[in-house]
């Protein structure tokens, strides 16, 4: 291999994707074979799979040593697995991609062309998500809309983890040390010269998604609380509005008492007022607790992931 040949790292998180391992390799390898002036490594991160994913990945490594396997000690979640893959990537550029082939490997060549033309980040934007369930399409649209209103850091809409990043971008990402990681936000936060390529999202090659509605909701909360303090500020304004309304009502009660005397207050209105204010207080405490919880977890300084073993390359062991 020539010392002048560029190396591109493909980073692929795997969690219980045994049925997709060979399909992914069959879809990716022919695409890479067409790019004869680029060397590739495929960094596969097994995120604590409980099926035969790891065994299939190790077998794939024996057939094609370009497939390097990073075996995590347990399931840390996709954001941590993606972080592990990026940390272990050696390439001049890094391309994260999912194992289910919904993001087309055919886009890798145009990404590399844009990178060679001077782009430091090449985003892949989904212009057609019709293969996703309607609920997921609508929830994704609402997430981007709400997030971009709440946060000063704007996320490009319909852009996932599939992208190309120059080594300078990767090193910037590796310098960010927080443990609670929302990768889409971190990708956007580091910036750099960016171009965007459009593509049509495909059906999964095999298997089912590992992201339930609850996991997606938690990821959305993680994203908002990682890059915005607006939810905290909102409750300041709600409290101020409540105080003003209470003061106005107090003035009304005093004036009415002075004019028509004291009457017996209604039980229903008192109960509704108490329950309403109590509910607002519980919600505000919950929002505050979300941020305090993040501070608590970050203060522990635990590693984002733990590697159990590496398979392939010069770092096996």
- Is residue 95 a contact partner of residue 11, using CB atoms and an 8 Å limit? yes
- 3-state SS string over 120-172? CEEEEEEEECCCCCHHHHHHHHHHHHHHHHHCCCCCCCCEEEEEEEEHHHHHH
CB 67 within 8 A of CB 58: no
Task: Check pLDDT > 70 for residue 163.
Answer: yes
pLDDT in tens, 175-196: 888 877 888 888 888 888 889 8
Pick the range with the lowest mean pLDDT from 5-14, 88-97, 103-112, 257-266: 257-266
What whole-number percentage of the chain has pLDDT above 70?
69
> How high is the pLDDT of residue 154?
75
Residue 185 CA to residue 155 CA, distance in Å, equals: 7
The pTM assigned to this predicted structure is 0.71
In the chain, what percentage of residues exceed pLDDT 90? 21
Per-residue pLDDT tens digits for 24-40: 898 899 999 888 888 99
d(CA 199, CA 316): 36
Q: Of the ranges 66-80, 167-181, 214-228, which one carries the lowest mean pLDDT score? A: 214-228
Please name the residues in contact with 143: beta carbons below 8 A apart, sequence gap of 6 or more: 220, 223
Q: What is the pLDDT of residue 1?
A: 37
pLDDT tens digit string along 233-285?
Answer: 676 677 777 667 766 766 776 676 667 665 556 555 665 567 667 767 777 77
Contact (CB, 8 A) for 162 and 124: yes
Q: Is the pLDDT of residue 171 over 80?
A: yes
- How many Å apart are CA 216 and CA 194, to the nearest integer? 27
Q: Regarding predicted confidence, which is higher, 133 or 287?
A: 287
CA distance linking residue 38 with residue 35, whole number of Å: 6
* Domains parsed from the chain with CATH numbers: 8-228+303-311 (3.90.550.10), 230-299 (no CATH)
Rounded to whole angstroms, how far apart are CA atoms 268 and 189?
Answer: 50
Least confident of 87-91, 130-134, 229-233: 130-134
């Amino acid at each position: 291999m020539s010392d002048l040949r560029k190396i591109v790292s493909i980073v692929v998180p795997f969690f219980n994707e045994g049925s997709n391992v060979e399909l992914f390799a069959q879809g990716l390898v022919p695409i890479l074979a067409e790019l004869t002036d680029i060397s590739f490594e495929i960094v596969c991160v097994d995120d604590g799979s409980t099926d035969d994913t790891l065994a299939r990945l190790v077998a794939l490594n024996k057939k094609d040593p370009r497939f390097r396997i990073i075996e995590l000690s347990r399931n840390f979640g996709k954001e941590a697995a993606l972080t592990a893959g990026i940390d272990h990537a050696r390439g001049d550029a890094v391309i994260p991609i999912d194992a289910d082939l919904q993001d087309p490997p055919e886009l890798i060549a145009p990404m590399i062309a844009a990178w060679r033309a001077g782009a430091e980040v090449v985003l892949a934007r989904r212009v057609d998500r019709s293969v996703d369930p309607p609920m997921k399409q609508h929830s994704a649209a609402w997430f981007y809309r709400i997030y971009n209103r709440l946060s000063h850091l704007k996320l490009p809409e319909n852009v996932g983890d599939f992208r190309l990043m120059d080594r300078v971008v990767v090193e910037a990402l590796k310098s960010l040390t927080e443990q609670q990681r929302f990768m889409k936000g971190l990708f956007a936060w580091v910036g750099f010269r960016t171009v965007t390529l459009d593509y049509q999202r495909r059906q999964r090659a095999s298997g089912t998604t590992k992201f339930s509605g609850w996991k997606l909701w938690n990821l959305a909360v993680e994203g908002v609380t990682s890059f915005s303090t607006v939810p905290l500020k909102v409750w300041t304004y709600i409290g101020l509005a409540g105080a003003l309304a209470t003061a106005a009502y107090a003035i009304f009660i005093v004036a009415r008492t002075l004019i028509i005397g004291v009457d017996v207050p209604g039980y229903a209105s008192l109960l509704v007022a108490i329950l309403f204010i109590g509910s607002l207080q519980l919600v505000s405490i919950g929002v505050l607790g979300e941020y305090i919880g993040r501070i608590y977890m970050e203060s522990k300084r635990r590693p984002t992931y733990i590697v159990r073993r590496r398979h392939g390359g010069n770092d096996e062991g």
